[in-house]
Structure 1
């Protein structure tokens, strides 16, 4: 999923038309507040951001996004009409993978989008690798995916209680929480959900502090959305992408 952060309607129309042509799923935010809502709601593989937004500067927005541990590896492209050398330098220091000046050359921009997407964090094991490892077909895979989704939803619910102060690790019992985490890990491994495994491994490692629980909860909410997307696109986009080894 690509997040396009752009307030200019003409530029937004050009870019969304390009993303549709490239067949990339995308969402649009017209300001910083909408962008923050989007990254908290669903898995994002690439951010394309303008610098001059109605409610905040693009650099400030990206700093707010990338400071969160579970979002730090999302590649970011900046696209703006004007910027001095100092702004470009700051953007690259922040971790931007590309900086594009408007007006854009559509064909060149398409190439740069594809290049930036290669920097996106791996979320799923490739379909071919999973077939080889588990010897399953799509009919077998779907129940495994639902099982992983259900286990993850249960863990997210319990972490939510801890985050809101309605429960604690001690009240829930460390053994019980560990058992829930292990169930998610096992199910996620079966369906090749790489990102989910990385997050629950951190939770299970004992290194996560109480302050980390909020970030981990937010991250796993996004992973739950990824499972939902995979379930919804079972017979179309997900398996088409998986078959291509994405």
Structure 2
């Protein structure tokens, strides 16, 4: 429907002049009407004009109404155009074919004008609703793209200043090595910049996952190496919080993106340490379960209340538990874990630990099954 002319545009395609004149007279008061005496002329008008509904006679010479309908449905720009077929009472089989090909409705000759008018109005109302729905979807898509673009720009612009701050604080530590008060302030700065870097990383990762831009670089790797590398990064934090980080049996070879698997394990270990009280233990081990290997991270924190478990692994999902060392959280870590593990053909979960606490786990396909499972995950 044109914004300049609020009347819907109706196309009448029929090779019989009397039918065209009759239908023009019926619809000209409420609609703008264009007419075509054959199939090619009808397709030319549809390609040129913003037609809102088409009445097409089945039995036209040269290009039949069914052939016109087929070309309309094959063209992306007109695929949703409401088409009402016009047929004689003897054209029942053609009507059935037309409906299967995507015709919206049909009328028979001789015309019942009130019925015909009502059917045209119905198709136009349905098209109006569909157009409104498309507009809303497009506006939401544009808003999402704008949000993602601004998020990337803002996050990227924050990374460089934060990197500069980190370098400056490193140099300052040497300069004020004998000043305990300055060292305490730098410790606070350490915590703040680390938090900001985590926020930037999480938001960038979220934008990449939502836009489907996560590209996995698959390699063959032993899990014990990846776990040890991740745990080495938390030596200072475990000492500061007086938490013991213990490793059990670590077995299993997988095929995956080493950086992404490290990110997953880093999130799980960080989460366990964040909610563990001083003097407690975080324990990590693996279990072989058929063609999968499960990596478990157990803590001795407060555990997860049953009614709060559905919030886990959701975007911005938080529980009532609070970090024991004043750490902050974006609520995105476990959501990122779930999506990265799913991309590897695995799954995630959480169990209650005996004696209190939680066991967060991920399951990944063992190396011999990893490639096949990964392909299935990408295609689902």
Query: TM-score scaled by structure 1?
Result: 0.49
Larger radius of gyration: 2
**Structure with bigger RCO (C-alpha 8 Å, 6+ apart):** 1
Higher helix share: 1
